[in-house]
Amino acid sequence: MTTDTLHPLAAEYLQRLRRAGRGLPPGRLRELIAEIEGHLSEAIDPSASDAQALTALDKLGEPEGIIAAETPDLDELPARRGTKEWAAVILLLLGGFILGFGWIAGLILLWNSRAWTIRDKWIGTLVIPGGLATSVLIGRILLGTPTKRLCHGILGGLEHCTTSAGQSIVAPVLGVALLALLVLAPIATSVYLTRRAA
């Protein structure tokens, strides 16, 4: 729809709405203008009198009022990243190495911050609890492949011993793949939380 098919006062109203809405995200402003333009084309016939057009526009309210209703209060906006948020991200990633207490401190900072949504906080909590410390612990368990020691007696009282792996090659490969996932998940979570708090 173009403003050519609108009453001149309705087209002027849309121009005021565009100017007032420059602070909105561009996508939201386009949606809002399309919505108001559709309403104006239905409510005001292009051949209507100026008085009829003004009556319909008065019912809509001032463009600045519509934009103000679309703009959240500063109190409703989440807080931005600060020292507390940086500490939370670092402790969630590395705090598990401090006997696990660092990770718990990171959780407390995460849940007390206004910089993240509830969804973000759950992601920070549940994606590899303990952070990299948990990954290292599980990695040591996975990669600690048991071995078998075979000893054979040789003439003269000497023993010949050999060590052989107790598992097939598949288990260590799967262990390394799982370890890579366990290391990458907390790092990806930290990057995600940092971006979301920006």
> Could you report the per-residue pLDDT of 6-36, keeping only the tens digit for each?
899 999 999 999 998 888 888 888 998 999 9
With cut-offs at 50, 70 and 90, classify the pLDDT of residue 72.
low
Tell me the one-letter amino acid at 131.
Answer: G
- Give the percent of the chain with pLDDT over 70: 76
Cα-based angle 180, 186, 188 (whole degrees, multiple of 5): 90
Q: Are 85 and 78 in contact (CB under 8 A)?
A: no
DSSP 175-192: HHHHHHHHHHHHHHHHHH
Alpha-carbon distance of 184 to 166, in angstroms, equals 28
Pull the structure tokens for residue 52.
């009829």
With cut-offs at 50, 70 and 90, classify the pLDDT of residue 195.
confident
Of residues 58 and 140, more confidently modeled: 58
Instruction: Report the pLDDT value the prediction gives residue 136, as an integer from 0 to 100.
Output: 81
Cα→Cα distances 52→40, 55, 155, 195, Å: 12, 5, 116, 50
Establish how many alpha carbons lie within 13 A of residue 121's alpha carbon, considering only the half-sphere containing its beta carbon.
13
Which residues lie across from 154 on neighbouring strands?
158
